[in-house]
């Protein structure tokens, strides 16, 4: 009788997997108060598109508002830095240069195997 056993190969090879960004939770505000919303890749889980980022469709989910989002703008919408603003377009800036109050808070990734795992079978009578 054959018994299936997973052969211990040491640490998993990190090159066996590919990680793709599929969601971002953004915090808009300060440490004391603020607002959270998300950018989500709506092709997540679509096996036909997972290796072709040009087919990704990203949406912004902000309370009851849902709208398209260009993922090429992710750096300016999620990673802080300075901005030139006035009171009319950023109520927390008060005009002039200020720190951006938009920061990625949680990043969500899809993990995909690049190759199948190998299973090794041994007969119970075989020597170890």
Per-residue confidence (pLDDT) for residue 6, from 0 to 100? 44
**Domain carrying residue 100:** 22-114
The pLDDT of residue 68: 95
User: pLDDT (tens digit, 9 = 90+) per residue, 62-106?
Assistant: 999 999 999 889 888 888 777 766 555 555 555 567 777 888 999
SS3 121: strand
Q: Using an 8 Å Cβ cutoff, are 26 and 40 in contact? A: no
Asked if residues 90 and 83 have their Cβ atoms less than 8 Å apart, the reply is yes
Provide the residue count of the chain: 128
Q: Is residue 38 part of a domain?
A: yes
> Is 6 a member of any domain?
no
> Is 79 contained in some domain?
yes
Cα distance from N-terminal residue to C-terminal residue, the chain: 16
- For the chain, what is the radius of gyration of the CA atoms? 23
**Number of domains comprising the chain:** 1
Q: Is the pTM of this model over 0.85?
A: no
Please report whether residue 121 resides in a domain.
no
Q: Contact, 38 vs 60, CB < 8 A?
A: yes
The verdict on residue 40 lying in a domain is: yes
User: Has residue 109 been placed in a domain?
Assistant: yes
């Amino acid at each position: 009788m054959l018994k299936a056993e997973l052969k211990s190969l040491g640490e998993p090879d990190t090159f066996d997997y590919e990680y793709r960004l599929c969601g971002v939770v953004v915090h808009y505000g300060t440490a004391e108060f603020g607002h959270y919303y998300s950018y989500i890749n709506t092709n997540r889980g679509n096996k036909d598109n997972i290796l072709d980022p040009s087919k990704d469709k990203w949406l912004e989910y902000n309370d009851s508002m849902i709208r398209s989002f260009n993922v090429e703008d992710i750096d300016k919408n999620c990673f802080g830095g300075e901005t030139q603003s006035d009171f009319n377009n950023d109520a927390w800036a008060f005009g002039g240069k200020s720190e951006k109050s938009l920061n990625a808070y949680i990043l969500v990734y899809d993990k995909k195997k690049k190759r199948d795992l190998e299973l090794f079978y041994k007969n119970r009578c075989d020597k170890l």
